[in-house]
Amino acid sequence: MILKPPPIVEKMLGIVRSSTVWRSFWRQGYPSNDENRALIMFNSLFLHLHPVKVKGHTLKITYTWGLGFIAFWLFVILTITGVVLMFFYVPSTTRAYQDIQALETTIPFGIVLRNMHRWAAHLMVLIVFLHMCRVFYTGGYKAPREWNWVVGVNMLVLTSMLSFTGYLLPWDDLAISAIKIGSQIAAVTPFIGQWVRGLMIGATPTEEVGQNALLRFYVLHVMILPIVLYLLIFFHFWRIRKDGGLSLPEKTAEEPADNGKKVLVN
Ligand code: HEM
C-alpha cells in the first residue's frame, strides 16, 4: 500500500520539486517508477555503491546474518573512537601508560571512549571470524568468488595485525610481555628470524622491546594497517558486485544454485 500525503502537502512538494535548486540536488523525478528508482541509485554518491537490484535471498537475515556489514561498521566505530583517542595519547615509553591511566580516571568520558574502542576491537575479530565461517558454510568461496575469498583472508590477517599492534600501545606489563613473546616467535622464523624481529621491533638481537617498537606499532596501528584495510574492504565490496552479488543457497525457490558457474557481471 502506498501512503499518499494530503493534497496541500503534495501541491507544496510539487512546487519545491519543480524548482531549479531541487533539480540540482535530485536530477531525476520522484521515485514512483522503476526508472526513477534506478536513477536515484546511479545519481547518489553513497547509494551507487549498492546494486540497483538485489536477489531476494540476500536480504534474508538468516543467509548472511549481516556479519560482513557488522564487521564493517565495527571498523567504522574503531576508526572514529581511535581518532579521538589520538588526541589523548602519545606513543612514548615515558608517557603512554600515564596517558591511558588519565583516560581511565580524569578525562571526561575517557573510560567510555577507551572501552568502546577495546570492545569494538575484540568484537571485530570475532565477527570477522564468524563471517568467514558463514561464507565457508554457504559455499560463498566457490567459483566465481575465489578471488574475494583470498582478499578476505588478507583482511582477516590485517584485522589480527591491528589487534596485535593495538595491544602494545597501553605500554603496561601485559602488553610488553605479549610483544616480547610475539617478537621471540618472529625470531625463530627459519633463516631470516633475527631480521624479521629487528624489522618488527626496531631492535638488535641483544636489545629488548622499547621505544622503537612502540613507535613502529603505533604508526602501523593508526595509519598503515587501517588505510590498507579500508582499501581492501572497498575492493571486497566491489568484487561482490562484480561476482554477481552474493552466492545463492544450494536451492532457492527463485533461481538454481550458481556455485561453480560464471555469473553475470553488473
Ligand atoms: C574486515 C573484514 C571483512 C568485512 C568488513 C567483510 C565484509 C563483507 C560483506 C559486507 C559481505 C556481504 C555479505 C555479508 O554481510 O556476509 C561480504 C561477503 C563476502 N566475504 Fe567478507 N568481509 C570481511 C572479511 C572476510 C573474510 C575474512 C573472508 C574470507 C576469508 C571474506 C570472504 C567473503 C566472501 C567470499 C564474500 C561473498 C560471500 C557470498 O557471496 O556468499 N570476507 N564480506
73-128 residue pLDDT tens: 999 999 999 999 999 999 999 999 999 999 999 999 999 999 999 999 999 999 99
Give the model's pLDDT for residue 1.
62
Task: Evaluate whether 239 touches 261 at the Cβ level (below 8 Å).
Answer: no
Give the model's pLDDT for residue 266.
43
Nearest CA to ligand 1 atom 12: 68
Nearest CA to ligand 1 atom 43: 68
CATH annotation of 67-242: 1.20.810.10
Give 159 Cα–ligand 1 centroid separation in angstroms.
13
pLDDT tens for each residue of 184-220: 999 999 999 999 999 999 999 999 999 999 999 999 9
Give 153 Cα–ligand 1 centroid separation in angstroms.
10
Give the number of the atom of ligand 1 that is nearest the alpha carbon of residue 66: 15
pLDDT tens for each residue of 21-62: 888 877 887 788 899 889 988 888 888 878 888 888 888 899
pTM of the model: 0.86
Sequence spans of domains, the chain: 67-242
pLDDT tens for each residue of 162-174: 999 999 999 999 9
C-alpha 46/C-alpha 19 separation (Å) is 24
Residues 6+ apart with CB under 8 A from 166: 121, 221
Residues 6+ apart with CB under 8 A from 229: 75, 155, 158, 159, 162
Take residue 248 and report the three cell numbers written for it: 545463492
Residue-wise DSSP of 173-192: HHHHHHHHHHHHHHHTSTTT
C-alpha 110/C-alpha 235 separation (Å) is 34
Say if residue 251's pLDDT is above 70.
no
Give 151 Cα–ligand 1 centroid separation in angstroms.
9
Say if residue 262's pLDDT is above 70.
no
Give 141 Cα–ligand 1 centroid separation in angstroms.
10
Give 260 Cα–ligand 1 centroid separation in angstroms.
18
C-alpha 28/C-alpha 48 separation (Å) is 14
Mutate to test the pocket of ligand 1, among 136, 236, 252, 266 (most ligand atoms within 8 A of CB): 236
Residue ranges around ligand 1 (CB below 6 Å): 64, 66-69, 71-72, 75, 128, 131-132, 135, 138, 140-141, 145, 148-149, 152-153, 155-156, 159, 233, 236, 240, 246-247
Nearest CA to ligand 1 atom 22: 68
Residue type, 60: K
33 burial (CB, 10 Å; 0-12 / 13-18 / 19+) is exposed
Residue-wise DSSP of the chain: -PPPPPHHHHHHHHHHHHSHHHHHH--S--S-SHHHHHHHHHH-TTGGGS-SS--GGGG-HHHHTTHHHHHHHHHHHHHHHHHHHHTT----TTTHHHHHHHHHHTSTTHHHHHHHHHHHHHHHHHHHHHHHHHHHHTTTTSTT-HHHHHHHHHHHHHHHHHHHHHHHTT--HHHHHHHHHHHHHHHTSTTTHHHHHHHHH---TT--S-HHHHHHHHHIIIIIHHHHHHHHHHHHHHHHHHTTSSPPPSB-SSSB--TTS-----
Nearest CA to ligand 1 atom 38: 140
Nearest CA to ligand 1 atom 24: 152
Give 152 Cα–ligand 1 centroid separation in angstroms.
6
pLDDT tens for each residue of 147-163: 999 999 999 999 999 99
pLDDT band at residue 252 under the 50/70/90 scheme: low
Nearest CA to ligand 1 atom 1: 155
Mutate to test the pocket of ligand 1, among 63, 155, 234 (most ligand atoms within 8 A of CB): 155
